[in-house]
Each structure stands twice: as C-alpha cells, then as structure tokens.
C-alpha cells in the first residue's frame, strides 16, 4: 500500500486502520467517510454490499460515484480515535487518498479540531453528558477553534420552604416539618413551583390537525356575578 507524503498537504494525515497505515484526507465538507475498496481489503474490513449514490460538484441529480459497500472500523489520526465509524467503500479509481474522513468522524463528541493558517490540528476533546451544538471560537484572525462536546446542565432551583406548600397541617411539630422539607428538597427536581419550572418533554410529539376550512375559536371570558 502506497502512502504519499502528507507534509505538503495541510489537510492530509497519516492514519491507522486495524494497525495499518493509510493516507487520509480530512474533508470538512463531506457527510461520509470513504475508503477505497482495495484499502478496505488490505485492512481486513468486513464489507457489506451497498449500492449508494454519492453526489459531488456539478449535479444534484446525477451521482458522481456509487458506493459499492459499507464497513465499520476505528480510524486513528494524530492519536485521536473516536470509535467505530461507517466507511462507504468506493472503487479505487475515484479518489486519490486511501481514506476520506468526513463529518461523521470530525463531529464526534471526542474530537476537537482547530484551523491555524492553512493547517488543521486535531486533538482529543473533553466530553461530558448531554447534548449541544458544535461551537466555534475565533481568536484574532488566525485560528478557529471548533470543539464538538455534549453538555446538558440541570438548572439549579431554590430550596423549598414550608410556605411553598398550601396544604400542610399548621399544627405539625418541628421534627415533622424538618423531615418534610428534607425529603422534598432531596428530590427537588420532582417539584415545580410554577409553570416555568415544568419544562417540556422530548419523548413525545403532538400534532394538531385542523379541519379544512375551519377557524380557531376566539371568545372573551364571561364574567359571572355572584348572587348573595
């Protein structure tokens, strides 16, 4: 397997798949990771048949090339290896580098990359639980720092006090009051003081289907006078 010199190509790297050295092109505009069929065989990858059209420059209706299979493997680049990713297997004549690494690998939560001048630098990202969008920070005019991490913070809520409860016996003793406040504040996330603390659930989507030709019902609330 021939591995070309990568120093003169700022987005080319020497990577490893199953312990074999491969020539990698980092392509931030590619949705997929692509590997030559000959390289996939040399690396001992299990190839599953797949006929998938791939579109490039020039046309969105006529595919530039068709993938002939798919494989899964870990790609290590600059001591960064985010885990197993999908590799679309393409004929060996359609691309010069052994592997094209796209956004599935680059946007992994454990991968950070920054562009300094013409160079793209890879590093391991600090990860945590949850989700967020990738963030970009520009320092001066020289570097863009891109770090895709996952963050989901639990909002901090004020501790509940006895006056927050409308239906507590006024004659409870001090021990009972302390036990009540202790247990409700231990499970504070289960109690909402208002609509702002209820939040929403991502587990269900609700659709409101309107009857064709119908209009929303709008009316003012009526006031009823209490009779003595």
Q: What is the DSSP string of 89-141?
A: EE-TTS-SSSEEE-HHHHTSTTEEEEEETTEEEEEEPP--SS----EEEEETT
Burial per residue of 74-100, b for 16 or more beta-carbon CB atoms within 10 angstroms, e otherwise? ebbbeebbbeebebbbbeeeebebbbb
Can you tell me the mean pLDDT for 40-58?
85
Residue pair 11/120 in contact (Cβ under 8 Å)? The answer is yes
Residue pair 43/20 in contact (Cβ under 8 Å)? The answer is yes
Q: What angle do CA 40, 42, 48 make, to 5 degrees?
A: 35
Instruction: Check residue 64 and report its DSSP letter.
Output: S
Instruction: Check residue 32 and report its DSSP letter.
Output: S
Query: Average per-residue pLDDT in the chain?
Result: 76
Residue 203: pLDDT band by 50, 70, 90 thresholds?
confident
Nearest to 131 by CA among 106, 148, 146: 148
Q: In the numeric block, which tokens belong to residue 112?
A: 């950070």
Domain boundaries, given as residue ranges, for the chain: 1-107, 109-153, 162-197
Can you tell me the mean pLDDT for 46-75?
83
Instruction: Check residue 182 and report its DSSP letter.
Output: H
pLDDT of residue 74: 92
Residue pair 154/189 in contact (Cβ under 8 Å)? The answer is yes
Residue pair 42/99 in contact (Cβ under 8 Å)? The answer is no
Q: How many whole angstroms separate alpha carbon 164 and alpha carbon 175?
A: 18
**With pLDDT > 90 as the criterion, what percentage of the chain qualifies?**
20
- At residue 89, φ and ψ (nearest 5 deg) are -90, 125
Tally of CB atoms within 10 A around 189: 11
pTM: 0.52
pLDDT of residue 201: 67
pLDDT of residue 137: 46
Per the CATH hierarchy, to which homologous superfamily does domain 1-107 belong? Answer: Acid Proteases (2.40.70.10)
Helix residue ranges, H only, the chain? 37-42, 103-106, 174-186
């Amino acid at each position: 397997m021939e591995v070309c010199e990568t120093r003169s190509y700022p987005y080319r790297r020497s990577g490893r798949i199953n312990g074999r050295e491969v020539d990698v092109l980092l392509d931030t505009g590619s949705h997929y990771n692509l590997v030559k069929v000959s390289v996939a065989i040399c690396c001992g990858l299990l190839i599953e048949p797949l006929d998938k059209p791939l579109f490039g420059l020039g046309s969105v209706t006529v595919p530039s090339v068709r993938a002939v299979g798919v494989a899964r493997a870990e790609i290590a680049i600059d001591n960064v290896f985010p885990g197993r990713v999908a590799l679309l297997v393409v004929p060996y004549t359609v691309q010069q580098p052994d592997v094209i690494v796209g956004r599935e690998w680059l946007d992994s939560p454990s991968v950070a990359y920054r562009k300094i001048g013409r160079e793209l630098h890879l590093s391991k990202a600090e990860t945590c639980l949850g989700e967020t969008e990738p963030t970009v920070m520009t320092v001066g005019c020289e570097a863009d720092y891109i770090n895709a991490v996952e963050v989901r913070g639990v909002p901090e809520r004020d501790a509940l006090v006895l006056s927050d409860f409308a239906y507590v016996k006024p004659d409870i003793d001090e021990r009972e009051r302390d036990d009540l406040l202790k247990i409700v504040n231990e499970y504070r996330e289960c109690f909402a003081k208002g609509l702002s603390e209820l939040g929403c659930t991502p587990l269900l989507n609700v659709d409101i289907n309107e009857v064709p030709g119908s209009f929303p019902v709008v009316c003012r609330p009526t006031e009823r006078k209490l009779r003595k």
